[in-house]
């Protein structure tokens, strides 16, 4: 049981390290950060943009989660999904994100 717990924790740390920095066009990142910051008590941790889709990690004490957005027009974005905890590439694909893009936004997740 301890080995399984250790393996799960190591996997989560690997996923977190892989997606721990903003990536994508600066204007898109700024627009997404502003959009998320409009919610009270939300702090944006990381934003990753790939084409017309984006993944955003947020913290709203005492918890955090992830959101997936799709570009509407220009630098305007529409929320596809938001969940506490980790959103996987598979979750994003179910919401219509192309598989290659989902795996780019959420590397190391199934």
Split the chain (110 residues) into runs of 10 and give each run's mean pLDDT.
Answer: 43 47 94 89 93 95 93 90 92 96 94
Residue 59 lies in a domain: yes
Residue 48 lies in a domain: yes
**pTM for the full model?**
0.78
64-71's contacts with Cβ under 8 Å and 24+ in sequence apart are: 67/36, 68/92, 68/95, 68/97, 68/105, 69/32, 69/35, 70/96, 70/97, 71/28
Residue 94 lies in a domain: yes
Where does residue 35 rank: exposed (0-12), middle (13-18), buried (19+ CB within 10 A)? Answer: buried
pLDDT for res 37:
84
pLDDT for res 73:
86
Q: 85, 47, 38: which is closest to 65 by C-alpha? A: 85
Which range marks the domain in which residue 24 is found? 2-105
pLDDT for res 38:
86
Residue 29 lies in a domain: yes
pLDDT for res 9:
44
Residue 110 lies in a domain: no
Number of domains in the chain: 1
């Amino acid at each position: 049981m301890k080995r399984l717990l250790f393996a799960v924790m190591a996997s989560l740390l690997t996923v977190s390290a892989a997606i721990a920095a903003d990536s994508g066009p600066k204007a898109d990142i700024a627009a997404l950060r502003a959009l998320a910051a409009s919610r009270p008590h939300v702090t944006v941790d990381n934003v990753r943009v790939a084409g017309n889709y984006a993944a955003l990690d947020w913290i709203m004490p005492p918890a955090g989660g992830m959101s997936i957005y799709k570009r509407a027009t220009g630098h305007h974005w529409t929320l596809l999904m938001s969940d506490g905890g980790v959103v996987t590439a598979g979750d994003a694909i179910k919401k219509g994100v192309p598989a290659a893009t989902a795996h780019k936004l959420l590397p190391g997740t199934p």
